[in-house]
Amino acid sequence: MVQKNPIISNPNVSVDCVVFGFDGADLKVLLVERYRRDNLDFQDDTLVLPGDLINNNEDLNEAASRVLYDLTGLTKIFLQQIGAFGSPKRLSKPKDIAWLDAVRMNPEARVITIGYYALINIKNYKVRPSSFAKHVVWRGYNEVGELGFDHNDILEKAIHNLRDQLYREPIGFELLPSHFSLHQLYSLYNEIMGGEIDRRNFRRRMLKTGFLKETEEYQEGVPHKPARLYTFIPEEFENASKNNFKFY
């Protein structure tokens, strides 16, 4: 019987993923509580972005997809690379050093990480602890606080790229259900853009784009007058983009 070669991780290259979700009101970020694989009692209260060392038999995108699959059990998640992070000081915090001393054979080795961001509809995914996380938690983007390593820098780069890409591609709809109200759409875009969008102007411009279609459905189970639901028409977004579409 031929034995398969063992999977070996590269000790100097990792991927870290900013996973954005939307609960209908707030933009969320998925965070994990790190721990030592061979000693579940070793942990601290530091939250970090989901990530892992890459395996020598996979490319960067495969590594990022593996990390997300471990957390969600699903594939074909929207995933975008945002760049490399390699400052010599990215692993210099005391708690980070203590954790590295406990889990790495060569804790002083310099690690370059490749950042990604992913977009998921929270209601469609049930996140779960994976090989690298004992607990997973959704936190509001504005309530994240200090993360381990340089993960706040990676998060800020991710939100910057998301805001920029929102103008050119229909990526925001990855965070919404297939049928949504205009208020949900406004809340999502306003959250991503940091609360700088005028509501009336946004609604007017969106309805004029042609890539939103009215449905015959209305909201259910709400304490106010149910709002009409809309759906997104991907083919029409390109036409709106060519006309320099701006939503505020």
> Does pLDDT of 1 surpass 70?
no
Beta bridge partners of 53: 14
Supply the CATH number for residue 109's domain. 3.90.79.10
Distance CA 150, CA 135 (A): 20
Residue for token digits 């070996």?
8
Q: Tell me the three state secondary structure of residue 227.
A: coil
Of 140, 165, 190, the residue at which a domain comes to its end is 165
Q: Are residues 159 and 193 in the same domain?
A: no
> Does pLDDT of 99 surpass 70?
yes
Q: What is the pLDDT of residue 132?
A: 56
- In this predicted model, what pLDDT tens digit does every residue of 43-92 receive, in sequence order? 567 899 999 899 999 999 999 999 888 877 777 889 999 999 999 888 88
Q: What is the pLDDT of residue 223?
A: 82
- In this predicted model, what pLDDT tens digit does every residue of 127-185 receive, in sequence order? 776 655 667 889 999 999 999 999 999 999 999 999 998 877 888 999 999 999 999 99
Q: Are residues 86 and 208 in the same domain?
A: no
> Does pLDDT of 232 surpass 50?
yes
Q: Are residues 70 and 35 in the same domain?
A: yes
The mean pLDDT value for 221-238 works out to 87
Q: Are residues 103 and 146 in the same domain?
A: yes
- In this predicted model, what pLDDT tens digit does every residue of 100-112 receive, in sequence order? 887 777 777 889 9
Within a domain: residue 192?
A: yes
Structure tokens at 159: 């939100």
Q: Are residues 123 and 220 in the same domain?
A: no
> Does pLDDT of 37 surpass 70?
no
Structure tokens at 84: 């490399």
Q: What is the pLDDT of residue 235?
A: 82
Distance CA 155, CA 153 (A): 5
Q: How many domains, the chain?
A: 2
Structure tokens at 118: 């992913």
Structure tokens at 129: 């602890």
DSSP 57-108: TS-HHHHHHHHHHHHHS----EEEEEEEE--TTTT-SHHHHHHHHHH-SSTT
Closest Cα to residue 33, out of 116, 147, 122, 172? 147
Q: Are residues 157 and 196 in the same domain?
A: no
> Does pLDDT of 213 surpass 70?
yes
Within a domain: residue 1?
A: no
Of 108, 137, 165, the residue at which a domain comes to its end is 165
Within a domain: residue 93?
A: yes
Q: Provide the 8-state DSSP code for 1.
A: -
Q: Are residues 18 and 110 in the same domain?
A: yes
Within a domain: residue 2?
A: no
Q: Are residues 43 and 100 in the same domain?
A: yes
Q: Are residues 154 and 189 in the same domain?
A: no
Structure tokens at 54: 């890459």
Q: Around 242, how many Cα atoms within 13 Å sit in the side-chain half-sphere? A: 7
Q: Are residues 109 and 210 in the same domain?
A: no
Residue for token digits 């609960």?
23
Supply the CATH number for residue 198's domain. 1.10.10.10
Of 121, 143, 165, the residue at which a domain comes to its end is 165
Q: What is the pLDDT of residue 212?
A: 93
- In this predicted model, what pLDDT tens digit does every residue of 10-28 receive, in sequence order? 889 999 999 999 988 899 9
Q: Are residues 123 and 197 in the same domain?
A: no
Within a domain: residue 173?
A: no
Q: Are residues 225 and 118 in the same domain?
A: no
Residue for token digits 């007058």?
225
Structure tokens at 136: 């997973």
Closest Cα to residue 102, out of 15, 44, 54? 44
Domain limits for position 234: 178-242
- In this predicted model, what pLDDT tens digit does every residue of 138-154 receive, in sequence order? 999 999 999 999 999 99
Within a domain: residue 170?
A: no
Q: State CA 170 to chain mean position distance.
A: 16
